[in-house]
Structure 1
Amino acid sequence: MLWKKRPTAVLAGLLVIHVLAHIDRNMLLGFSPQIITDLKISNTQYGFLVGVVWVLSFGFMALFLGSLADRFSRTRIIAVGVFIWSLCTWASGHAQSFEQMALARFFVASGEAALVPAAVSILTELFSEQKRSTIMGIFFMGIPMGIGASFLLAGTFGASLGWRSTFYALGGLGIVIAVLLAFLKEDRSQTMTHERGAPFVQQVRTVLGLMRSRPPLLFLIIGFVLLHILFAGLSFTQLWMVKERGMDTSSIAVHIGTFQLLFGAMGSVIGGVVGDRLARRLPGGHPAVIVLFIATCAVPMVAYRFVAPGSWAFYVGMCAGFFLPLACYGSANAAIMGMVPAQTRSTVAGFTMLCINVFAIAIGNLAAGRAVDVLVAQCVSSPLTHVVLATDFIGIGSGAFFALAAFFSARQRDLVIHVPARA
C-alpha cells in the first residue's frame, strides 16, 4: 500500500474524483430548462429527479457502503462506485422519458454513495488532527468545483453539443478513471478485529448509540443537515433567475457556474483553514466557527433576493450563498470525525450523508418543487422567490443547532479540564 505514503497525492486524486461526481450529479441542474422541456416533465417531477430519486439510492447506500468501508478495502469500494455511476451517467443521455431518467439517476446515486464515506475515513487516517479541517475543506472543494463545472459545461460546450452528448462524454471519462483506480490495493485483513468495523446491523447500532450519548455530535449533525436546505434552493435558483428576474438562460448558467466554482471553492479552502486556526481558540471549537460563518453571510444572502438583478448587491448575495455552505464543510466534518472512534468513521459519514439526502435533498427538493407548483396554481406572484427565500431562512436557522453543539462541546471541555487528578 505504497499509495498511503503519499497523502498529498491521495488528497489530489480523491478531489478529482469528487469533482467528477458532482459534475455528473449536477448536470441536471445545469441543463434543467432543456431537460424539463425535452422530457416534458413538471416542476414536481424535476424536484423528484434532483431530490427523492437520489435519496432512494444515495442516502441508504451511503450508510451501507460506509459500513463496508470500515471493514474492507476502501479503494476498491470507491472504484466500483465510480464505474457504476459513470456507466449510468452515460445511460442518462439515452433517457426518453421521466421514468427512464429516474431509473438511470437512481443508479448514478448508488455509485456515488461509495465515495464520501470511504474518502473521509482515508483522509482522517492520513492527516493529523491539526490539519483535518483544512484537508476536509480541500476535499469538499469538489462540491463547488463540480457544481460550477456542470453549469459551465451546460452554458458552453453543452450549448453546442446538447445535454445528451455531454452525458455520454462524462460517463466515458469516469469509466476510464474507475479502471485506473482499481489497481490501488488496500489490505484490511491484517488490521486488528477491534480496529475494524462490525457487521452492518451491529455497526449501525453503535453509531446510533454514539448519537444518543454525545449531544454535541447529535446537534452538529442536525445543524449540518439543515444547512443543506440551501442546496434545495440552489436547485431552483437558475429557474428563479430566468423566470422571475428575466435573465438569459445560457449566460446565467455561465454566471452561476463561474461564481459557484470560485466562491464555493474559496469557501471550502478558507473555511477549512480558518476552522483549524480558530477552533483551538474558541470555547465551542469547530461548531463555533460555523456559527460565525453563518452570522457573516446571512444578511447579504437574504438581501439579494430583493435587489435589482445585475447590481453589486445581487452578486454579493449570490456569492455569499455559494460561499457559506462550503465554508462549513471543513469544520463540520473535522468535528464529526473527531467525536467518533476510528472504526466507525466511514459509517458515521455514511449516516450523515443519509440524513442530509433524506431530509435536506429529497424532502427539501420535492417540497420546493411542490410548493412552486401549488403557488403557480394559486396565481401567487413570484412563486419561485417565495420558495428560495424559505430555503435561505431554514439554512440560516441551522446556526441554532451549531450553537448548541458549540455550547455542549465547550461544557465537556471544561468538565475535562476541571476534573481533579486522583492521587
Structure 2
Amino acid sequence: MYWKKSPPAILASLLVIHLLAHIDRNMLLGFSPQIIKDLVLSNAQYGFLVGAVWVLSFGVMAMFMGTLADRFSRTRVIAAGVLIWSACTLASGHAQNFEQMVVARFFVASGEAALVPAAVALLAELFSEQRRGAAMGLFFMGIPLGIGCSFLLAGSFGATHGWRTTFYVLGIVGVAIALPLALLKEDRSRLSPQERGAAFLPQVLAVLRIVRGTPALGFMITGFVLVHLVFASFAFTQLWLVNERGMNAAGIATRIGTLQLVFGTLGAAVGGVMSDRVARKLRGGHASFMALIVVICAPLMLAYRFTPTGSPLFYIGMCAGFFLPLAVYGPGMTALANMTPQNMRSTVTGFTMLAINVFALAIGAVVVGMAADYFIKAGVTAPLTGVLIATDALAISSALFFALAARASRRQRMLALENVQPVRS
C-alpha cells in the first residue's frame, strides 16, 4: 500500500472529495428558485427535499457505512460512496418531478454518508496524535468551502448553463474521481480482530456498549451534538436579521454567505492546527481545548443578539457564530479517535454523525421553528430573538460536556497508569 507513504497527499485528496461532497449537497439550495419553478414544487415539498430526505438517509447510512469502513477497504468504501452520490447527482439533473428528485437526493445522501466515517479513521491512522487535529481540521474545511462554492457555482456557471447541466457536470466529475480511487488497494482481511471491525449488527451493538460504558466518549458526543445547534440557528438567521433587526433582505444574504465562507474555513483550519499545539499543554487534551473555544466565543455570540446592527461587536459576534462549529471539528474528531478502539473508529464517527443530523439539524431546526410560531401567535415582541438566544445558550452548554469529557478522559488515563504499575511486595 505505497500510497499510504504520503499522508499530506492523501489529506489533500480527501479535502477535494469533501469539497465536492458539500458542493453536491448544497447545490439544491443554490438553485432553489429554479428547481422549485421547473419541478412545480410546494414549499413543503422543497423543505422535505432539503431536510427530512437528507437527514433520514445520511444519518442512518453514516453508521452503516462506518461499519463497512471498519471492516473492509476504506478507500473502496469512499470510492463506492463517491460513485453513488455522483451518479445520483447526475440523476438529479434529469429529475422531472418531485418523486424522482426525492429518490435521487436520498441516494446522494446515502453515498455521501460513506466519506466522513472512513476518512476520519484513515486520517487517524496516518497522522500521529500530535498532528491529528490539524489534519482533521483541514479535512473539515471542505464544509464551508463546499457551501460557498456551491452558491458561487450556481451564480456563475449555473446562471449561464442552467441547473440541470450543472448537476450533469458535477456528476461526471465525481464519477471520474471515484474510478481511480477504487484502484487504491487496502487489504484489511488479514488484520486481527483488534484492528478490524465486526459485521454490522455486532459492530453496532459493540459501539453502543462502548459509548454507554465510556463516560468521556458519551460526554464528547453529547457536546458535539449540542454545539451543532448553532446550525439550527443559522437556518433562521436571515429571517431574524430582516424581520427583527431591520436589515435589508437583498444585501444580507450575500454578506452572510461571504462571512460564513471566510470564518467557517478559518475556524476549521485554526481550530485544527491550534488544538494540536494547545491541547498538549492542557490537562484534558483536545476536549479541554474545545471547552475553551466555546467559552471564548460564547460572550461574543450572545452580545451579537443585543448590539446594534452597525456596530463592530455585532459583526464580530456573527463571525464567532460562524467560526465556532467548524473550529471544534478538528479537535473533536481527534478526541473521538483517541477515545475509540481502532476497529470502531469509523462506526463511532458514523454514530456521531447520526446523532448530529437527527437531534441537532433535524429536530433542532423544527423545534426552533415551532417555538418561534408559538411566540408569534402569543404576541411576543421579537419572538425569534428569544428563541435564538435560547438555542445559542444550549449550544454554549456544550462547553460543560466537553469539560466533563476532559475530566473523565483524564481519570481514565490515571486508572490505566495505576493498572500498569508493578505490584510491590
Do Structure 1 and Structure 2 share a fold, with TM-score over 0.5? yes
CA contact (8 A) 1:134 1:272 kept: yes
Q: Structure 1 residues 303 and 91, CA, compared in 2 at 3 Å: closer, same or farther?
A: farther
**Are positions 1:146 and 2:167 aligned together?**
no
Structure 2 stretches of 5 or more lacking a match? none
Separation of aligned partners in 2, 1:155 and 1:311: 30
- 1:406 correspondence with 2:425: no
RMSD: 2.7
| 2:126 counterpart residue number | 126
Hey, what's the Cα distance between the residues in 2 that align with 1:33 and 1:303? 34
Deviates more, 1:84-93 or 1:102-111: 84-93
Pairing of 1:77-92 with structure 2 (within 5 A): 77-92=77-92
Q: Distance in 1 between matches of 2:228 and 2:114?
A: 20
Structure-1 separation of matches of 2:189 and 2:335: 28
> Cα distance 1:184–1:379, how it changes in 2: closer, same or farther (>3 A)?
farther
Structure 1 match to 2:229: 229
Task: Give the AA of the match of 1:395.
Answer: A
Matches within 5 A, 1:29-68: 29-32=29-32, 39-42=40-43, 46-68=46-68
Q: Residues 365 and 50 (structure 1 numbering): CA distance in 2 closer, same or farther, change over 3 Å?
A: farther
Q: Which amino acid aligns with 1:225?
A: V
CA distance in 2, matches of 1:393, 1:88: 38
**CA distance change for structure 1 residues 412 and 270 in 2, over 3 Å: closer, same or farther?**
same
Over 3 Å counting, the alpha-carbon distance change for 1:97 and 1:294 in structure 2 is farther
Residues 314, 248 of structure 1: CA spacing in aligned structure 2 closer, same or farther, 3 A cutoff? same
Residue by residue over 1:48-74, the C-alpha shift from the partner in whole angstroms, topping out at 9 and shown as x without a partner, is: 433322221111111111111111111
Which deviations, in whole Å up to 9, do the C-alpha atoms of 1:274-325 show, x marking residues without a partner?
Answer: 2112222212221111111111111222332344445433321221111101
Offset of residue 376 of structure 1: 5.7
Gap regions ≥5 residues in structure 1: none
- Aligned match of 2:204: 204
Q: CA deviation at 1:98?
A: 4.8
Q: Distance in 2 between matches of 1:95 and 1:366?
A: 27
8 A Cα contact 2:18 2:140, kept in partner: yes
Q: Which residue of 2 is the match for residue 296 of structure 1?
A: 296
Give, in angstroms, the shift of residue 365 of structure 1.
2.7
Give the conservation status (yes or no) of the 8 Å contact 1:120–1:349: yes
| Alpha-carbon distance between aligned partners in 1 of 2:34 and 2:372, rounded to the nearest angstrom | 19
Instruction: Report SS of the residue matched to 1:266.
Output: helix
CA distance in 1, matches of 2:154, 2:126: 36
C-alpha distance after superposition, 1:316-373 (max 9, x if no partner): 1221111101111111111111111111111111111111111112212333344455
Aligned to 1:109: 109
Cα drift, residue 108 of structure 1 = 1.2
- How far apart in 2 are the matches of 1:158 and 1:192? 49
Partner residue in 2 for 1:22: 22
Counterpart amino acid of 1:422? V
Cα distance in 1 between the residues matched to 2:331 and 2:2? 29
Q: Residue 316 of structure 2 aligns with which residue?
A: 316
Residues 395 and 32 of structure 1: CA distance in aligned 2, closer, same or farther (over 3 Å)? farther
C-alpha separation between the residues in 2 aligned to 1:391 and 1:48? 23
**Equivalent position amino acid for 1:184 in 2:** L
CA contact (8 A) 1:52 1:366 kept: no
Which residue of 2 is the match for residue 329 of structure 1?
329
Residue 130 of structure 2 aligns to a residue whose secondary structure is helix
Corresponding letter in the other structure for 1:298: A
Q: How many residues align?
A: 421
| Aligned equivalents of 1:366, 1:104: Cα separation in 2 | 24
1:133 is paired with a residue of what secondary structure? helix
C-alpha displacement of 1:21: 0.9
Amino acid at match of 2:128: S
Q: Which has the higher contact order (CA 8 A, sep 6+)?
A: 1
Residues 384 and 84 (structure 1), Cα distance of their counterparts in 2 relative to 1, 3 Å cut: farther
Measured against aligned partners, the alpha-carbon deviations of 1:160-211 in whole angstroms (never above 9, x if no partner) come to 5554444343233222222232222222223234421111111112111211
Q: C-alpha distance in 2, partners of 1:340/1:155?
A: 42
Task: Give the secondary-structure state (helix, strand or coil) at the position aligned to 2:266.
Answer: helix
Higher deviation after alignment, 182-191 or 110-119: 182-191
Question: Structure 1 residues 241, 203: closer, same or farther in 2, change over 3 A?
Answer: same
* Aligned CA distance change for structure 1 residues 369 and 352 (closer, same or farther; 3 Å): same
Partner of 2:275: 275
Moved more, 174-183 or 200-209: 174-183
**Deviation sequence 1:368-394 (CA, Å, 0-9, x none):** 344455556666655554544443222
- Once the two structures are overlaid, the 10-residue window that deviates more, 28-37 or 260-269, is 28-37
Identity %: 62
Give me the TM-score of the superposition, normalised by structure 2: 0.89
Q: Are the structure 2 counterparts of residues 391 and 51 from structure 1 closer, same or farther at C-alpha, using a change threshold of 3 Å?
A: farther
8 Å CA contact 2:194–2:342 kept in 1: the answer is no
C-alpha separation in 2, matches of 1:377 and 1:160: 43
Q: 1:99 to 1:238 in 2, by over 3 A?
A: farther
* Secondary structure of the corresponding residue to residue 196 of structure 1: coil
| Other-structure match for 1:180 | 180
8 Å Cα contact 2:193-2:343 kept in structure 1: no
TM-score w.r.t. the length of structure 1 is 0.90
Give the stretch that moved more between structures: 409-418 or 333-342: 409-418
